[in-house]
Amino acid sequence: MNVTKILKETRTIAVVGLSNKQDRPSFQVASYLQRAGYKIIPVNPALNERVLDEISYPDLLSVESEVDLVNIFRKPEQAFQIVDQAITISAKAIWMQLGIVNQTAAEKAISHGLDVVMDRCIMIDHKQSAEFPEAEVN
């Protein structure tokens, strides 16, 4: 797994569990990624509204555009179902946020050719990467 490679090759990120509440980590991370130039696709069955000025979808299977990376903000036990959907839509990578660990889901994703990052924050990794100077996303 090469985090920098994943971040460089990714254009579109489906954020599963994205909240519309600005004080939630999922909103803060997705907002940061959007400012960094990524296309964000909100995925949350509880939302029937736009989030970060993007249409929200109830699940990955409903997303109408190509997804490079699936960023997971859900409980670890829900990761397996999300990975199944990511495989179905031909996503290229799975990113389980800090605190989310599901080895079985990770192994399934890897066996289907997806890159996997687990138990890490994509925003922190992006900020710390020399490839993406923080000044570009202020």
pLDDT tens digits, one per residue of 37-73? 999 999 999 988 899 999 999 999 999 999 999 999 9
Separation in Å, CA 27 to CA 7, 35, 37, 114: 19, 12, 15, 25
Whole-model pTM?
Answer: 0.93
Helix, strand or coil for residue 98?
coil
What pLDDT sits at residue 135? 39
On the CB side of 83, CA atoms within 13 Å amount to 27
Structural element, H or E, at residue 126: helix 122-128
> Which residues are within 8 A (CB) of 121 and not within 5 positions of it... i.e. 6 or more apart?
29, 97, 98
CATH superfamily of 3-137: NAD(P)-binding Rossmann-like Domain (3.40.50.720)
What burial class does residue 34 get, using C-beta atoms within 10 Å of its C-beta: 0-12 exposed, 13-18 middle, 19+ buried?
middle
Which regions of the chain are under pLDDT 50? 135, 138
